[in-house]
Structure 1
Amino acid sequence: MRIVYLEANAASGMAVHDECKLNFLELKAKRTFRYIVFKIEEKQKQVVVEKVGEPTQSHQDFAASLPDSECRYAVFDYDFVTEENCQKSRIFFIAWSPDTARVRSKMIYASSKDRFKRELDGIQVELQATDPTEMDLDVFKSRAN
């Protein structure tokens, strides 16, 4: 039997499902995933894992996994080569809030973001994106260094 502990967020009342933290630790430590997309389940008042991307998946696969008109949180493990020719990676946190999303949804995601982000220890870069151009590969490249 697996016991799941949920901690409610005082500001927004959102809890963070254990699977969110466990998957993030796997991405960070073992590189089991390329990305993780998180969704707020309003009825259960908790953040859950919606989708994970295999290590072989690309930035393009990640961008395609985000819905056009709904908010999400996501983390992406971005690999790059420095000017000194060193292989590195950065873990990006993306707050996806498209212009076409419902206002209520944008407010819930905005008010829960900082608390949720604190649960994921090891995020190196944060991006706010309201359309795909704000998180395209060039943005990742410029923010990684």
Structure 2
Amino acid sequence: MASISLDGVDIGPDCVSVFQQLKLKKSYEYIIYNISGDKKHIVVEKTSTSEKHDAFIADLPETECRFAVKDFRFEIDPTEGERNKILLIVWSPDNAPIRNKMVFAASKGNLKRRLNGIAAEIQGTDYSEIAYETIT
């Protein structure tokens, strides 16, 4: 079993470039990050162009932690039109293994420091906490 430092794991080489594609080029609606099998890097697990929030939620596993970046689109007032914010979602379900939660918690800062342009961070322990209605 690999030992994890208190600083967590570092981010992989494509994490920032894929984030830039979401942020600047609007190439993706969301990115899901995981920690590599050898526990050495945060890696891009999936990208998606789906605008459906339900599709995003379905891509988060029930019993494992993940980081996600979502270009969240919402409307406050119909007269003002659609707005968007880039969110960092820290998915840490209640029934995830403790070690998995610890590694993700220790690594969050490394990812957040490198992804410039995150408007807000949301912590989710069950699907209701990251539902569209809850976030808006």
Q: Please, what TM-score do these two structures have when normalized by structure 1? A: 0.85
What corresponds to 1:94 in structure 2?
89
Q: Where do residues 1-145 of structure 1 align in structure 2 (5 Å cutoff)?
A: 11-54=6-49, 56-83=50-77, 84-141=79-136
Contiguous gaps of at least 5 residues in structure 2: none
Q: Compute the displacement of 1:11 (Å).
A: 3.6
- C-alpha separation in 2, matches of 1:42 and 1:11: 18
Count of matched residue pairs: 132
Is the 1:78–1:140 Cα contact (8 Å) retained in structure 2?
no
Q: Compute the displacement of 1:42 (Å).
A: 4.6
Contiguous gaps of at least 5 residues in structure 1: 1-8
> Between the two proteins, what is the percent identity of the paired residues?
37
Deviation track 1:71-128 (CA, whole Å, cap 9, x = no partner) reads 0000110112232423211011000001111100100100111121111100001100
Q: Please, what TM-score do these two structures have when normalized by structure 2? A: 0.90
Q: Compute the displacement of 1:57 (Å).
A: 3.2
Structure with a larger share of its residues in helix: 1
- C-alpha separation in 1, matches of 2:71 and 2:32: 12
Q: Compute the displacement of 1:44 (Å).
A: 4.7
Alpha-carbon RMSD: 1.7
Report which structure shows greater RCO (CA 8 Å, sep ≥6).
Answer: 2
Is the 1:12–1:108 Cα contact (8 Å) retained in structure 2?
no
- C-alpha separation in 2, matches of 1:101 and 1:44: 16
